[in-house]
Each structure stands twice: as C-alpha cells, then as structure tokens.
Amino acid sequence: MAPRVGVRGDARPTRSDFAVDRAFGPGDDNDAVYSRAAVPLVDLGLRGGVCTLLAYGQTGSGKTHTIQGVLGRLAEDVFSRQERLEEGAGRGRISLHVSFYELLGDEVTDLLGGAGDGGGRRVEVMEDAFGAINTRGVTELAVESPEQFRELCDSALSHRRTQATFRNDSSSRSHAVCAVRVSNGLLREAEDGRLFVVDLAGSESAADSQFHDRELVRETKLINRSLSSLKDCIRNRALSALNPGRFYHVPYRLSKLTLLLKDAFEVESHRHCKTVVVACVSPSVADVAMTLGTLRYAVPIKVGQMNRDRLPPNPKNPATWSNAELRRWVDKTSRGAVSADTLCPHESGMQLLRVPETEFIRRVLEGSGKAFGEKRAKAFYTSLWKLLIDARTAERKAKLKPKVPNRYKDVEKLAAEWLEELDKNQGEAINVLREQEWEQRTKQRVEEMEQKQKRLQANKENEHE
C-alpha cells in the first residue's frame, strides 16, 4: 500500500499487486529462504547445470545478510549432497572449487587474493573465440570441508568495498560473486557444474544519492547501469526458453557482471540453467517508493507461460518430438547400441533435453552395456543438442530472412522518391535562376539604353549652343 495525498490534503492509500513465487515475512529466517530458493539450485549444480542466485534491493534492505545466511547453509548442504552422490563410487570423485569476485563497472577484483577495498588484484574477464568465458588473475581454491568453505566466504566478504552513505553506514559499493565450480570425476566427459551466489550492490534513487560526492555518484551510475543490463539478460533468456520459435537478443556483453554470468544467459547452450532472484525490501513506510521500485524491477523478470507460443511439429527439432519419434532417433543414431527403454522410457524430446548431462550420460552407459564409453556417450549427448541448436538457428534465420528484403525495398523506394524530388527541385531551381538571370540582364539593358539616351540628349544640347 503506497500512500497518496489527494487535492484536498486527505491521505489515500494506493494498492499495488505483484505476482511472485513466494513471499517471505518477518517470521521466516534464512533457513526458510535457503530451503525454498537455494536447494533446487544445489541439486542441479552438482549434476552439471548452471545455477544462479541473486539478491537485489535497495541499500540497507538486508541483501548481504541474506547472502551470508545462504552461503553458511550452502557450506553444509553441498558437502552432504556430494557424499550422497559419491556413494558406491568412492570419495574424491566430485571436487568443489571456490572463487570470489568483486565487480564495479568494468573493474573486477579478486577477493581471495588481495587486500580488498578496491586494492585487490585485478581480474580480466574475457570471451574466447569459442564463446567460453575465461578469467585471468583470479584465485580458485579447492575446498574439502564446510569449515574451509565458510572461512573462505568470511574472508572474501570482509575484503569487500563498503562506504558510509546517507542510507546505510556500511553500504556495499560493488557486486560480490561467489562462484562454485563442481568437477565431476565420476563422469570425466561431463562439463563442470556452476553455482553462482551474487550479492548485488544496492540500487539507489536520486533521493538516496543527493548527498554523494563525485566518486559515489560515479559508482551509483555504474551500479544502476549493470543492474539494468542484468534485468534484460535474465528476462530475455527466460523468454527465449519459453518461445523457442522467436529470437531474443541477450545483451550479456554490456557489463562485466553479465559477461561473467554468460553461461546462465547463453541461449544456444546445451547446459541446463536456473536463476532465482531474491528481492529484498524494507518494511519502513519511508521506503515505500524504493520498495515499489524493487518489485517493479524484479517481478517482470519472472516470465509466465500464459502467452507461450505453440511450436508446430518439426521433424528436425527434437524439442517437438514425441516419445515414439525420440525412440526412433535413438535406435537410428546409436544403431541399436543404446536401449531406448533405459534412456527415454517415457520422456518426450523436450523432457529428455531437460535431463542433466550427468544423468543423460549415466543412462547411455547403462543402456549400452559396454558398447559406449564415457567419451562416446558424451558425443551422443552433444549430437542431440546439436540438432536442437541447428533447428533453432534455422528457425531464427527463416524468421529474419523475410524482413531483410522488405527493408531493402523500403529503402530503395525512399531513395527513388528522394531522387525524384531532388530532380524536381533541381529543375525548379534552374528555372528560377534562369528567370533571375533574364530579369537582371533586361534591367542592365534598360539602364544602358537610358544612359545612352541621356548622352545623346546632352550632345544635341551642346550642338545648339
């Protein structure tokens, strides 16, 4: 409820409704937030997926407190789940590696290998020719216990850049990213899982920054710009997943934050991705305007399936295959070596594509006996995703192709009209110049004749005298 004052001075509350997956109240602690928001991410991350949890909100709304609670519980939970995955395969087959970044604009700092407060070691975030993100200069440490994980998180967060502002005595002036890489030794061909826990810098309005000095104003601009690009990336990525037949541009290169999280936004990726945004708001009445701004930022990120387009059946797109079509592809591609009853007993094409990579490879190895090794099972998984990516690329080109000729036709039409108008105007200009030149010559001739007449008259008068 946002207060409004009428023309007569009476208070009138205005109601605003926002659709979210879950709302946490004062009675919910960090355990409730973790169990509802972070647990599904941990399961997918340990199985080779790319998962991201972000805390967003105004400065002083409790983002850092929430992230610290999530990291503390993550330290215990990730190792307990790791042990369950390693049962029967021996310890040490799944390893965890942790790195910590601090980002402000285009500046990326290593929080585990520097002094912090903006004086740490600089990290370069680059994209190579194959589209992979490489970080040079970052410290990545292998963790073997929950205690070591918590110590690294506490050490990194203590080096984070903070400064007193009008709204908060210890306002975070940068984004903090905890990156957990899961290396699966059980299936060496499977790609590493990624789990990002991001404590975003607090968003600030003009009222919050009215007492900032020049440096704080510069930081506020950089923070708000990166938050805007982050919102566009998350929303367009969700729209592309819901409507595979449409093309959505994901501008992850606009900021270093979104570039670092590229794996979570890549549209034509075979990695399974899941993103959770925790919007932190202040209960104070004085912060109603910022609360509304936070919700208006976060809620549109959640994309529903009400207007989802139905894809027409495409024999080249595995996302539209039924279970029977998928079984035929498995038998044909593997030449009968992989059992469809084991790989896809009931799944459709879309459902099998949603199976994590490690689970897919495990099914192939189990259903092929000794015919397939890990490398060949990985290639089998890649071949299915290659069909999906090629089909999406063809659909995107087919959608963009008819627009290009029409655009050129419009340009040619406008150019022809412009040239025609130019010729017309040029002809009119030439006629005007000719008329002006004729008038000027006529005037000069009249003046010459008048002068001649005056000279003749003067000569006659002189002769009479």
pLDDT of residue 53: 92
pLDDT of residue 430: 67
Distances 81 to 77, 84, 261, 318, 425 between C-alpha atoms, Å: 6, 5, 24, 32, 79
Taking each helix axis from N to C end, the angle separating 63-85 and 146-158, rounded to the nearest 10 degrees, works out to: 160
Q: What is the C-alpha to C-alpha distance for residues 22 and 32, in angstroms, rounded to an integer?
A: 11
Residues in contact with 297: Cβ distance below 8 Å, sequence separation at least 6, in sequence order: 56, 203, 227, 231, 279
Q: Is residue 63 within 8 Å of residue 280, measured between CB atoms?
A: yes
pLDDT tens digits in sequence order for the chain, 465 residues long? 555 655 566 666 777 888 888 889 888 888 999 998 898 888 888 888 889 999 988 877 888 889 989 999 998 888 888 777 666 555 557 788 999 998 887 888 898 876 555 556 888 988 876 577 888 888 899 998 989 999 999 888 888 876 655 555 566 668 899 999 988 776 666 678 889 999 988 766 555 555 556 777 777 778 878 888 888 888 887 777 777 667 778 888 888 888 888 888 876 666 778 888 898 888 887 778 888 888 888 887 776 544 444 555 678 888 888 888 899 999 999 988 999 899 988 888 878 887 888 889 889 998 888 888 888 989 999 999 888 888 878 877 776 655 545 555 566 666 677 777 766 666 666 666 677 777 777 788 878 888 888 888 887 777 766
Q: Two tokens at 226?
A: 């990166």
Q: What is the pTM of this model?
A: 0.67
**Topology at the third CATH level for domain 19-301:** Kinesin (3.40.850)
Distances 252 to 226, 236, 411 between C-alpha atoms, Å: 10, 10, 31
pLDDT of residue 88: 53
Q: Is residue 227 within 8 Å of residue 203, measured between CB atoms?
A: yes
pLDDT of residue 404: 46
Identify the bridge partners of residue 401 per DSSP, sorted by sequence position: none
pLDDT of residue 228: 84
SS3 track for 30-44: HHHHHHHHHHHHHHH
Residue of 269, 256, 248 lying closest to 230 (CA atoms): 256
Identify the bridge partners of residue 125 per DSSP, sorted by sequence position: 135
pLDDT of residue 136: 87
pLDDT of residue 307: 43
pLDDT of residue 198: 92
Q: What is the C-alpha to C-alpha distance for residues 145 and 73, in angstroms, rounded to an integer?
A: 13
| β 50-57/273-280 pair status | parallel
130: helix, coil or strand? coil
263: helix, coil or strand? helix
Q: Alpha-carbon dihedral of residues 262, 301, 227, 211, nearest 10 degrees?
A: -170
pLDDT of residue 424: 67
